[in-house]
Each structure stands twice: as structure tokens, then as C-alpha cells.
């Protein structure tokens, strides 16, 4: 094999390796990056999957952490920033989204927990009320930034107030990771099980 062919093969392998690092997962046609930056820290894709309801795919979700975790307690105890990103694969209105949020929160938090973050739950309701109908391809990003709180972004633009309590952010994550998750196969995918 001449040097030129060896060089081209080596270059092809390098390019293939680089492209694998850029896109970590493709779920239901949605490409998710391997890493993202939140609060000047690199986060790794812990897991990703699709949220289905009945026979419909609703959104693709990706969970990003500073380092990969394989159990829910480890994820909820993670220090540093975190990100939950959802990419819609079908149209949905904010009322349906808000109702799904409240249902998930109620199923996975006890009364004592919910009493601790009533104000933040109401503010999250205001955020959903401020979001117009969402279309396929729109994104909802929920970042936990230590020392600041939970930042909600729709199509990468901040929406509403920062929600300061880590207990609320963890309750929010339990919508997907709790004992009664919105979608059990999505839960397994987010914790790196699929």
C-alpha cells in the first residue's frame, strides 16, 4: 500500500472518530450532541430516549451530567450543573405540557416534598402558560446551575424566572426518573440502560 492510500485511510478513520464524538445519539431522527456546556462546564450525555404516549412519539429527551451515572440516586445527588433537554417530534400545546408536568410531579413527590416548593411549582406553571403552542423540532431545555438555580429555555431562549431550589430540580427530574416515571423505557434510556 502506498503512502498516499495509508494517509487517506488514516484521515478517514480520524474524521469518522471525530464525527462520533460530535453526535452521541440519534433517537427518532433527533441528533443529540455527545457533550454540551452549562455554567462553563462540559457535560456528557448520560442517556437519551423517546417519550411515547399511547402510539405517538411526543419528544426525545437527553440527560447531561458532569460524569455518567447509572442509578437514579447517583443522578439526583450529582454535584455540578445538569441538563435535561427535550426536542419535540410532534406539535403540543402548553396546556397539555403543563398538565403532564403536574401529573408527573404529583406521582413522584410526596405531600411534604411538594409543600417545600409550592412557590416554584406555581412559577413553573407560569412558565408553561407563557409558552405558546410548541411545534415539532422545538426544544425545551432545563439546566441546573449551582449557585443560581433551574433555568428554563425554549428554543434556547430563557423563559420565566430562575427557580433556585435543588429539591425542586430533583423533583422535576423524577418526572422521568422517579418510581412512577412518565415513560419507563425513557427512564431506562436516560440512566444509560438502553
Q: What is the model's pLDDT at position 11?
A: 40
User: How far is the CA of 89 from the CAs of 59, 152, 169, in angstroms?
Assistant: 5, 19, 24
Q: What is the mean pLDDT of the chain?
A: 88
Residue 115, burial from CB neighbour count under 10 angstroms (0-12, 13-18, 19+) = exposed
Contact 97, 131 (CB under 8 A): yes
77-129, pLDDT tens digit by residue? Answer: 998 999 999 999 999 988 888 898 899 999 999 999 889 999 999 999 888 88
Which pLDDT score is estimated for 194?
53
pLDDT of residue 96: 86
Q: For the chain, which residues score pLDDT lower than 70?
A: 1-24, 194
Report the Cα–Cα distance between both ends of the chain, in Å, rounded.
40
Write the class of the CATH domain 26-190.
Answer: alpha beta
pTM of the complete model = 0.85
Bridge partners (DSSP) of residue 158 are 153
Q: Which pLDDT belongs to residue 8?
A: 38
- Look at residue 47 in the predicted model and tell me its pLDDT: 97
- Looking only at Cα atoms, what is the longest distance across the chain? 72
Residue partners of 29: CB distance under 8 A and separation at least 6? 89
pLDDT of amino acid 1: 52
57-92 in b/e form (b: 16+ CB < 10 A) is bbbbbbbbbbeebeebeebbebeebbbbbbbbbeeb
Amino acid at each position: 500500500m502506498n503512502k498516499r492510500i495509508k494517509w487517506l485511510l488514516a484521515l478517514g478513520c480520524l474524521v469518522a472518530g471525530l464525527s462520533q464524538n460530535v453526535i452521541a445519539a440519534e433517537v427518532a431522527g433527533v441528533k443529540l450532541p455527545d457533550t454540551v456546556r452549562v455554567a462553563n462546564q462540559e457535560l456528557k450525555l448520560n442517556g437519551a430516549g423517546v417519550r411515547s404516549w399511547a402510539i405517538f412519539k411526543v419528544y426525545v429527551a437527553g440527560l447531561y451530567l458532569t460524569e455518567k451515572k447509572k442509578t437514579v440516586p447517583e443522578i439526583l445527588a450529582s454535584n455540578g450543573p445538569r441538563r435535561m433537554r427535550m426536542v419535540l417530534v410532534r406539535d403540543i400545546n402548553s396546556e397539555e405540557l403543563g398538565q403532564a408536568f403536574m401529573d408527573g410531579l404529583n406521582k413522584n413527590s410526596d405531600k411534604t416534598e411538594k409543600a417545600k416548593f409550592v412557590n416554584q411549582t406555581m412559577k413553573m406553571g407560569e412558565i408553561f402558560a407563557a409558552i405558546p403552542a410548541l411545534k415539532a423540532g422545538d426544544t425545551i431545555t432545563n439546566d441546573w446551575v449551582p449557585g443560581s438555580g433551574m433555568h428554563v429555555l425554549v428554543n434556547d431562549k430563557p423563559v420565566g424566572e430562575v427557580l433556585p431550589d435543588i429539591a425542586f430540580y430533583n423533583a422535576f427530574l423524577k418526572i422521568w426518573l422517579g418510581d412512577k416515571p412518565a415513560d419507563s423505557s425513557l427512564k431506562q434510556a436516560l440512566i444509560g440502560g438502553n
